[in-house]
């Protein structure tokens, strides 16, 4: 098989720069909140179909953790969970769509990196899933470690961190591989299942979801134990509108804070008599937190009633497919999810 060096790292860099370049002429966004309210809906870009993150149902309604984040931000800005238009975006076009204003929010299994934030004119508002890149193989190959993939052909999508991470990792291990780059996510999966490549590499949660989605055939596939990168998945918006940035960021923190305080979709509306000062601030009875963000006093209550707290979102979307909380537990339960004080 062709060694990795022949794939041309310069080509990878050029491909990355081709995505970055359009941002250089992008002017800062105007008043996004006013534009969204005038339109009457928030437009949010998601993956076309990744179980647990965003998948269209038979009714056309997207379900998944990324789709729920779209709804949470729409509820914060507009006070109504239904005032959101969720649209599928491709790996290659997602940043251009956000830069151009075709979408207001990108909530699409997207890794927060310095290059994307500094060069693309984006702001990442908070890590909703701590993840890492991994590999999935067919069990019949008898492989138990990614270090056994020397000389393998690896299915990946272009225009993401995946190919760069894989190139770096294989080089560091003194191994070679041949990337098979396919833009359409369904086609790259078909290529893996049909045997055109030896392994499929992407975020480990996406691999776990894909394996689960094989139903009775799930045991025919193995997600290898190595994680070769840090993949903090985050919602992104355009840089330059700090009001909208604050709302999106604190919506994420509200989901975490609600779980920490034990506030759920079922009970958050019955907290008026709580003697906990943090709860009183959260529900808008004190502190003027909503006013500081330009929102209604009970904005956070509306968000939790609409989508639940972070734990509820996780269990509804990622729990059923067997993805453990792990790093995504709250800080006081051994995880990395930590919200600044809402005060």
Name the pairing type of β-strands 105-106 and 42-46. Answer: parallel
Stretch 302-311: mean pLDDT, rounded? 98
Name the pairing type of β-strands 199-203 and 133-138. Answer: antiparallel
> In this structure, how many other beta carbons lie within 10 angstroms of the beta carbon of residue 229?
19
Please report where in the chains the tokens 């989508």 appear, as a residue.
Answer: 307
> In this structure, how many other beta carbons lie within 10 angstroms of the beta carbon of residue 142?
9
Mean predicted lDDT score pLDDT of the chain: 91
* pLDDT higher at 236 or 22: 236
* Helical packing angle, 242-261 and 299-307, nearest 10°: 60
Tokens of 93: 């076009």
Stretch 19-36: mean pLDDT, rounded? 63
* pLDDT of 185 above 90: no
21 pLDDT band (50/70/90 cuts)?
very low
Q: Domains for the chain: give ranges and CATH numbers.
A: 32-130+233-333 (3.40.190.10), 132-230 (3.40.190.10)
pLDDT attached to residue 6: 35
Residue ranges in 120-261 assigned as alpha helix (H) = 161-172, 185-193, 204-212, 242-261
* pLDDT of 17 above 80: no
- Whole-angstrom distance, CA of residue 61 vs CA of residue 86: 8
pLDDT attached to residue 328: 98
8 Å CB contact between 300 and 260: no
HSE at residue 60, side-chain half, CA atoms within 13 A, is 3
Stretch 168-189: mean pLDDT, rounded? 95
12 pLDDT band (50/70/90 cuts)?
very low
* pLDDT higher at 159 or 329: 329
Please report where in the chains the tokens 């502190």 appear, as a residue.
Answer: 287
DSSP symbol at 195: T
pLDDT attached to residue 86: 98
């Amino acid at each position: 098989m062709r060694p990795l060096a022949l794939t041309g790292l310069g080509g990878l860099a050029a491909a990355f720069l081709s995505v970055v370049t359009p941002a250089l002429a992008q002017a800062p966004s105007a008043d996004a909140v006013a534009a969204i309210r005038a339109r009457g809906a928030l437009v949010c870009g998601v993956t076309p179909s990744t179980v647990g993150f965003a998948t269209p149902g038979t009714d056309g309604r997207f379900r998944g953790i990324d789709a729920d984040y779209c709804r949470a931000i729409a509820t914060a800005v507009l006070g109504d969970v239904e005032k959101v238009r969720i649209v599928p975006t491709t790996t290659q076009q997602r940043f251009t769509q956000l830069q151009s204003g075709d979408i207001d929010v990108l909530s699409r299994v997207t890794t927060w990196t310095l290059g994307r934030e500094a060069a693309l004119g984006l702001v990442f508002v908070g890590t909703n899933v701590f993840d890492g890149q991994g590999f999935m193989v067919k069990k019949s190959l008898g492989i138990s470690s990614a270090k056994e993939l020397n000389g393998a052909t690896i299915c990946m999508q272009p225009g993401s961190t995946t190919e760069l991470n894989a190139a770096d990792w294989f080089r560091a291990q003194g191994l070679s591989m041949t990337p098979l780059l396919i833009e359409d996510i369904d086609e790259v999966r078909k290529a893996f299942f049909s045997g055109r490549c030896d392994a499929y590499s992407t975020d480990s949660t996406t691999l776990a979801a894909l394996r689960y989605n094989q139903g009775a055939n799930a045991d025919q596939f193995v997600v290898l134990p190595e994680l070769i990168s840090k993949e903090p998945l985050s919602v992104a918006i355009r840089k330059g509108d700090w009001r909208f940035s604050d709302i999106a960021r604190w919506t994420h923190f509200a989901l975490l804070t609600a779980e920490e305080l034990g506030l759920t979709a079922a009970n958050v509306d019955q907290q008026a008599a709580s003697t906990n000062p943090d709860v009183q601030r959260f529900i808008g009875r004190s502190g003027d937190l909503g006013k500081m963000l330009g929102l209604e006093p009970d904005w956070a209550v509306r968000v939790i009633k609409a989508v639940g707290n972070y734990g509820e979102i996780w269990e509804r979307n990622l729990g059923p497919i067997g993805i453990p909380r792990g790093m995504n537990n709250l800080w006081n339960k051994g995880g990395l999810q930590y919200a600044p004080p809402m005060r």
